[in-house]
Amino acid sequence: MGGGFATQHFRLRVLLMGIGLAIPALPQAAAQSSLPANFVYLRDVDPGIAQDIRYAGADNFVGRPLPGYEAAECILRRDVAAALKQVQADLSTASLALKVYDCYRPTRAVRAMAQWASASRDNGATKRFYPKLQKESLFGLGYISSQSKHSTGTAIDLTLIETPPSPAAPFDPAAAYGSCTGAAAQRAPDNTLDMGTGYDCFDGRSHTASMAISAEQRRSRNLLLAAMTKREFSNYAREWWHYTFRGGRLVSYFDFPIRPRPAN
């Protein structure tokens, strides 16, 4: 369908050039209707993987949707999505499944994170994500970066859920949720295994090998680590939720927006 439109537009350009008239630009919606080569929507590869794309909403450390997140959809490089599908299949034998929080991240969103971290005024509403740290220290400690492999489509933030999953209460922007290092029942609602901290918790307890968590929480982290490592993903030691695909060639950093998945 998109190819036919592009062909017609090309013929129109040739005709107008021949008679010396101005050439109309290809409409933006049509020009950006498809993903870059080798990128896919995760739902098209494995719709059974749960998605809770935090930067498309307000339940994140910035407290608002980030630039480029026009839809709550996980987009990945095709080989990464295929490897993630293998992880999901492996976990199914233990009545577990994956839940992704973030996948491909436009570079404009990475810039917005860095700008937020360097802003002088703190935001008390999101202090629960860094309860023991000052916001200006997050960049230097490696929790926020000026560049992210998420923008290559090879990195994923994710966790584990039981199957069938229990429903999670909706996030309430007006609620006073507890610290990300507190008990799971006091944190913002989630239906995942308790990993010892919430997602995007900027604290030493979030380090994958932290000993400041319970034996059961450590077991859950190790389950995720083993499942992901088996399928060529490597973990970022400061964040139990962050994994990067080791297979294939590292491609360029991208900035295309995350738009709603086209209907099949």
- Evaluate the CA torsion angle 43, 153, 222, 212 in order and state its sign: negative
Full domain range(s) for residue 132: 38-245
Token pair in block for residue 156:
């994923």
Mean pLDDT of 132-160: 92
For the entire predicted model, the pTM comes to 0.86
**Residue 110 burial class via C-beta count within 10 angstroms: exposed 0-12, middle 13-18, buried 19 and up:** buried
Supply the pLDDT for residue 24: 37
pLDDT, residue 168, reads 87
Burial class (CB in 10 A: 0-12, 13-18, 19+), 255: middle
Q: Does 165 fall in a domain? A: yes
Residue 2: the pLDDT is 37
Whether residues 74 and 154 fall in one domain:
yes
- Looking at the structure, do residues 50 and 2 belong to the same domain, yes or no? no
85 and 2 within one domain: no
Instruction: Determine contact, residues 83/129, Cβ cutoff 8 Å.
Output: no
Looking at the fold, whether 96 and 227 belong to one and the same domain comes out as: yes
Cβ atoms of 77 and 114 closer than 8 Å: no
Same domain, yes or no, for 105 and 233? yes
Same domain, yes or no: 93 and 27 = no
* pLDDT the model gives residue 31: 34
Average pLDDT for the chain: 87
Would you place residue 70 in the very low, low, confident or very high pLDDT band (cuts 50, 70, 90)?
very high
Q: What is the pLDDT of residue 206?
A: 97
Do 118 and 22 share a structural domain? no
Are 19 and 119 within one domain? no
My answer on whether 29 and 42 are in the same domain is no
Edge-first strand order for the sheet with 233-235 is 50-51, 96-102, 155-162, 242-245, 233-235
Per the listing, tokens 């999953």 go with 165
